[in-house]
Amino acid sequence: MSSVESHQEQLSQSDPSPSPNSCSSFELIDMDASSLYEPVSPHWFYCKIIDSKETWIPFNSEDSQQLEEAYDNGKDCNGRVVPTDGGRYDVHLGERMRYAVYWDEPASEVRRCTWFYKGDKDNKYVPYSESFSQVLEETYMLAVTLDEWKKKLESPNREIIILHNPKLMVHYQPVAGSDEWGSTPTEQGRPRTVKRGVENISVDIHGGEPLQIDHLVFVVHGIGPACDLRFRSIVQCVNDFRSVSLNLLQTHFKKAHENHQIGRVEFLPVNWHSPLHSTGVDVDLQRITLPSINRLRHFTNNTILDVFFYNSPTYCQTIVDTVASEMNRIYKLFLQRNPDFKGGVSIAGHSLGSLILFDILTNQKDSLGDIDSKKDSPSVFMDQGDTPTLEEDLKKLQLSEFFSIFEKEKVDKEALALCTDKDLQEMGIPLGPRRKILNYVQTRRNSVGINRPSPQSAAGMNMSNIPKESEHCGDTNETGNDEYLDVGIGQVSVKYPRLTYKPEIFFAFGSPIGMFLTVRGLKRIDPNYKFPTCKGFFNIYHPFDPVAYRIEPMVVPGVEFEPMLIPHHKGRKRMHLELREGLTRMSMDLKNNLLGSLRMAWKSFTRAPYPALQASETVDETEAEPESSSEKPSDVNTDENPVAVKEDMPPIHVGMLNGGQRIDYVLQEKPIESFNEYLFALQSHLCYWESEDTVLLVLKEIYQTQGIFLDQPLQ
């Protein structure tokens, strides 16, 4: 303490007279009120590089308290690790460094902060180093205790800090090129404000996250390393998604939250772009890329080409292996760090990421424990459960007497799938049984129609050996064992890895799944089809999203119906949509009344001139008129106003892909977006990360599996 006092005395001797403003402020301070010294309350911060600038971000209150308790438990903090941010980061207290747990991210510096100064441009407060903050605090303590102010200190960067009084402390930067005599602090430009304690600076400090984790959701990104218009990574976008979910849990699940029935849903990102582009393919592409329009070509190589990589058998194998292995690795690590976790797991994919997950789920097995490496191919999915033999199939068709003929000709189920009507006729099978057998083979093919285009080379995109009309049973291009042949350019079937868990729900955001299935040659998804290991499937999209496609018309191709409208998170439709529907209904009513009046006038002109019939016809027509006027206009305007008709439509069954529930869910566009669809098209594809409506639908469906519902169900 004596060294600090001597240092202060030396500096005070050369301390120039303070400015008039500082003197007046000093004189206005009641020194009796500040004579009692109270130690400063520290708060922990970590440093992030945002837009090439260092930004200090405070830990939430619970994490800061845990770090402070660990700091107080012993001065020797080496080897002490404190989990923060819901367990997604570990702080090594001795190193003062913060490391990500589940993904790769540069380590960030951690600091125990007590004193701050305002930055140059962004006006954000920057913490001093811990050592210099301690010097400032000791100086402040002496000034308060001895009631001696106008203390001056020099920081390690030769910056001058002057403590005029408890409410006026300034920081001067050194001026380059000062003479050998030096310059006084008042001559060094505009001073910067110095604050003591985090409570005196403007910074948002959030509360901690609930310790209880009810559900785990893996989120897979789409093309490119950036996931929104601000060119942020999947980690940052998922952070926004998680923050929105925490807020909605407190507002829309308030009763369950107060009763401690729920905790939170953990969202963890899965990155496959970096491993793909670390294979050396970028170097190969750079050699063949033209030098013109360099930025555009770099953007294309880094983003749009990911779609073509997924169509390549070599890089598609890398992508699916990376996604599946990352989800398995993170899940195993998550269980190690959360041994009391008893919740379920769901998966979500954005854009191309949803297609990757769709293909992986399509090629899973029912039994997770019985995985045969020799049969680890997509064709295994074709036969779910115990496959009946040919004899059992014939017995089911009541054609057991013909089994001896097939046995004599050495025809098994695979060979029967290749037989044509002429082949069966040559074996001596009559017309009726032939038709039954051929119809059964065709039905069996259609029942697995969803997976016939999927297990192709390069993740289901090479259709060279799959007929365009897969419904025809007499196709000779298909091998009996459902294996797809090499087409001569090095393409082989992709081996889809197995997940070590069964996802409960699959959420697709802005997904092109429907388009890719159509391009692969699939015309229809069998209504009885469902994922082998996943029960739920929700296709969520913005109406202006140029990449999104529907799924339900492929399940029910003969019926035209609208997707499910996602309710607004405030419990009602957006005002402009209600106004649009109101105007549509009003125009329909006016049209119905006009048509009814014209019909009545026309019938009055064409009525038969017999007095005996006139009275009876008038009564009959007035009774029948309301029914006719209500039916005919609705038939005419079915296509013009689907919203009004939707209210009277019976529930639509769209198969078992989502357990009998609806699959397609559309967001409500904002009023400003409705003015120009094309202007907001790109933004619509990247809007899901901060969309309260999307997050609320995800939370609602997840917690419904646990018997927990919204406080007020949204209509």
Q: Kindly list the strands in the beta sheet with 89-92, ordered across the sheet, starting from the edge strand earlier in the chain.
A: 53-58, 43-50, 108-113, 97-100, 89-92, 81-84
Using the 8-state DSSP alphabet, how is residue 300 labeled?
I
Read off the amino acid at residue 116: F
Q: In the numeric block, which tokens belong to residue 297? A: 């070509």
User: How far apart (Å, rounded) are the C-alpha atoms in residues 402 and 395?
Assistant: 10
Structure tokens at 143: 């000034």
Contact 582, 571 (CB under 8 A): no
* 674 carries an active-site annotation: no
Q: How far apart are CA 540 and CA 189, in angstroms?
A: 56
- Between the alpha carbon of residue 554 and those of residues 21, 437, 480, 559, the distances in Å are 76, 27, 26, 10
Looking only at Cα atoms, what is the longest distance across the chain? 126
Neighbours of 261 (CB within 10 A): 15
d(CA 518, CA 530): 18
Using CA atoms, how far apart are residues 398 and 256, in angstroms rounded to an integer? Answer: 56
| Residue 148 DSSP label | -
Residue 226, phi then psi, degrees to nearest 5:
-100, 145
- Give φ, ψ of 686 to 5 degrees: -115, 20
**DSSP E strands: which ranges in 471-568?**
505-509, 536-541, 564-565
Are 269 and 103 spatial neighbours (Cβ–Cβ below 8 Å)?
Answer: yes
Return d(Cα 67, Cα 202) in angstroms, integer.
22
| Catalytic residue from among 22, 245, 312, 351 | 351
> How far apart are the C-alpha atoms of 372 and 380, rounded to whole Å?
10
Report how far residue 286's alpha carbon sits from residue 353's, in angstroms, rounded to the nearest whole number.
25
Picking from 603, 66, 541, the residue whose alpha carbon sits closest to that of residue 351 is 541
Return the ∠ at Cα 252 (arms to 249 and 254), rounded to 5°.
Answer: 75
Nearest to 20, CA basis, from 183, 186, 226: 186
Place of tokens 């955001």: 509
Q: Helices in 364-430 by DSSP H: which ranges?
A: 390-396, 403-408, 413-418, 421-426
Distance (Å, whole) CA 169 – CA 18? 12
**Residue 473, SS3?**
coil
620's enclosing H/E stretch is helix 611-636
Q: Which residues are CB-neighbours of 47 under 8 A, at least 6 positions away?
A: 54, 55, 56, 57, 108, 109, 110, 111
Structure tokens at 154: 């020099």
CB neighbour class for 149 (10 Å; exposed up to 12, middle 13-18, buried from 19): buried
Q: Alpha-carbon distance 169 to 140, whole Å?
A: 10
Of 431, 458, 264, nearest to 343 by C-alpha is 264
- Nearest partner of 652 among 644, 663, 641, judged by Cα: 663
Residues assigned a catalytic role: 351
